[in-house]
């Protein structure tokens, strides 16, 4: 994947990419911890730099729901959406409801050439719903 994007294959990039795929919607602290399992001496900056590069090349997607820290996922290129728990912050993927990207058609595009729509559904996850009803 890295070579296909004309990127150098480095241990930190491979480890970050593996961590993003292993822990979808993880924040940077979680990813740093995961990367350090395979490269104990990796610096925070190396992980941040790798995330930035992988995001810039479309290998990783950065999402940041309102009130949340940045999170990263390896599912890219399909314009899917997310559902976020208001209670615990859990995030899950939601496929496009209808049609082709950008899933939604703006009532007025103001002359923009729209290529993506970002939708975030908010609610309460099943685990938090059980706690709330108990």
- Residue ranges for the known binding site for Fe cation are 100
Q: What are phi and psi of 83, to 5 degrees?
A: -120, 135
Contact 96/103 with Cβ under 8 angstroms? Answer: yes
Total number of residues shown for the chain: 134
Q: What does the DSSP 8-state code read for residue 121?
A: E
Feature table: binding site: 85, 88, 100, 125, 128
Burial of 20 (0-12, 13-18, 19+ CB in 10 A): buried
Residues at the binding site for Zn(2+) are: 85, 88, 125, 128
Helix (H, G, I), strand (E, B) or coil at 23: coil
User: From edge to edge, which strands make up the β-sheet containing 71-73?
Assistant: 26-27, 71-73, 61-63
């Amino acid at each position: 994947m890295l070579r296909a994007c004309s990127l150098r294959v480095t241990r930190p990039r491979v480890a970050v990419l593996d961590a993003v795929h292993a822990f979808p919607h993880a924040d940077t602290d979680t990813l740093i911890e995961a990367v350090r399992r395979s490269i104990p001496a990796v610096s925070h900056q190396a992980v941040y730099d790798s995330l930035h590069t992988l995001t810039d090349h479309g290998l990783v997607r950065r999402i940041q729901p309102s009130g949340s820290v940045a999170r990263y996922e390896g599912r890219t290129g399909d314009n899917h959406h997310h559902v976020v728990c208001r209670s615990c912050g859990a995030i899950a993927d939601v496929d496009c409801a209808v049609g082709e990207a950008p899933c939604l058609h703006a009532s007025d595009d103001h002359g923009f050439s729209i290529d993506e729509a970002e939708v975030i559904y908010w609610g309460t996850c099943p685990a938090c719903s059980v706690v709330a009803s108990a």
